[in-house]
Amino acid sequence: MVYYKTDEEIELLRQSNLVVCKALALVGSMIRPGISGAEIDKAAEELIRDHGASPSFKGYQGFPGSLCVSVNDQVVHGIPTKDQIFEDGDIISVDCGAYLNGFHGDSAFTFPVGEVSEEVMELCRVTNTSLYKAVDAAVVGNRLGDIGFVVQQYVEREYSYGIVRELVGHGIGKELHEAPEVPNYGKRGRGAKLKHGLVIAIEPMVNLGRKEVRTEQDGWTVYAKDRQPSAHYEHSVAVLKTGTITLSDHSLIEEELEKNENVQFVGVKAEMA
Ligand code: MG
Ligand code: MG
């Protein structure tokens, strides 16, 4: 069952997502070779709690972290640890959720560490751009398949990357994961119609190589079966008659990345606007 949100609920969702993006911006300011997943996880959790919110992921089905921290060939759901030391040339996919005033925010960004190969930087840029193309397709009157179609068309047809099929975007609100599922592949004009008040998290997960994934023995970490790098960007958006609103604000992250000498800039928002 899809829960359509009122204007008041959408404002609360925007506030939850603001906390999420402040936490991701803090992560963006910290990213450098030598720092660990545990360090960014601790800093993000403190920021979330300082805002009177709680980390959505911590304890979710037993997940131990406040962030999901997925390095290189890890796609999503990586567990942040102190042994997970970031190295020059890595890409770090960081997914964050925050629960505030009864509603969850959810957003993700892939950060390059130091000097990353042009091939992998392009994977990040294309995945990020595919997210904005998907957001542009998430309008009243379109269908869920239209969102997946534009991602698949761009990422698989134009770039021959692999889109992960096993994990998808989702409705978001009082629950972290609500109906409907939002696949990153699909056919134009298929699937449920997007109606006023729908709030969804759109999150393309794109593999440099093949689309197949596996899960580590820890029961959480999803990785690319061919062990090639993978990128992940996510926005929570509200679909409204007056136009779709992006509730998560990556400009906060992009501002920190521009200041951080240890990170090559991968923002695309300015280009797309
Ligand atoms: Mg997420
Ligand atoms: Mg999500």
Provide the residue type at 218 as one letter: D
pLDDT category at 273 given cuts 50, 70, 90 is very low
What's the 236 CA to ligand 1 centre distance in angstroms? Answer: 9
- Determine the pLDDT at residue 270: 42
Where residue 258 sits, what CATH number does that domain have? Answer: 3.90.230.10
Residue 267 or residue 135, greater confidence:
135
Q: Which ligand is nearest to the CA of 76?
A: 1
pLDDT category at 265 given cuts 50, 70, 90 is confident
In a domain, 95, yes or no: yes
Instruction: Let me know the angle formed at the C-alpha of 216 by 211 and 220, rounded to the nearest 5 degrees.
Output: 95
Q: Give the structural domain span for 185.
A: 7-272
In a domain, 184, yes or no: yes
In a domain, 189, yes or no: yes
What's the 168 CA to ligand 2 centre distance in angstroms? Answer: 8
pLDDT category at 269 given cuts 50, 70, 90 is low
Whether the per-residue pLDDT at 94 is higher than 70: the answer is yes
What's the 95 CA to ligand 2 centre distance in angstroms? Answer: 8
Give tens-digit pLDDT for 157-186.
Answer: 999 999 999 999 999 999 999 999 999 999
In a domain, 134, yes or no: yes
In a domain, 1, yes or no: no
What's the 263 CA to ligand 1 centre distance in angstroms? Answer: 21
Provide the residue type at 236 as one letter: S
Whether the per-residue pLDDT at 95 is higher than 90: the answer is yes
Q: Which ligand is nearest to the CA of 108?
A: 1
Average per-residue pLDDT in the chain?
A: 96
| For helices 144-152 and 118-137, angle between their N-to-C axes, nearest 10 degrees | 160
In a domain, 2, yes or no: no
- Determine the pLDDT at residue 200: 98
Q: Tell me what the mean pLDDT of segment 11-27 comes to.
A: 98
What's the 170 CA to ligand 2 centre distance in angstroms? Answer: 6
In a domain, 67, yes or no: yes
What's the 151 CA to ligand 1 centre distance in angstroms? Answer: 17
What's the 7 CA to ligand 1 centre distance in angstroms? Answer: 23
What's the 66 CA to ligand 1 centre distance in angstroms? Answer: 11
Give tens-digit pLDDT for 238-248.
Answer: 999 999 999 99
Q: Which two tokens stand for residue 77?
A: 């759901």
Exposed, middle or buried by CB within 10 Å (0-12, 13-18, 19+), for 223?
buried
What's the 167 CA to ligand 2 centre distance in angstroms? Answer: 9
Q: Which ligand is nearest to the CA of 171?
A: 2
What's the 153 CA to ligand 1 centre distance in angstroms? Answer: 23
Bond before 33 cis per omega within 30 degrees = no
In this structure, how many other beta carbons lie within 10 angstroms of the beta carbon of residue 267?
18
Q: Which ligand is nearest to the CA of 20?
A: 1
pTM metric for this prediction? 0.97
What is the tally of structural domains in the chain? Answer: 1
In a domain, 110, yes or no: yes
Q: How many CA atoms lie within 13 A of 163 on its CB side?
A: 26
What's the 107 CA to ligand 1 centre distance in angstroms? Answer: 5
Whether the per-residue pLDDT at 266 is higher than 90: the answer is no
Report the distance separating Cα 166 and Cα 205, nearest Å: 10
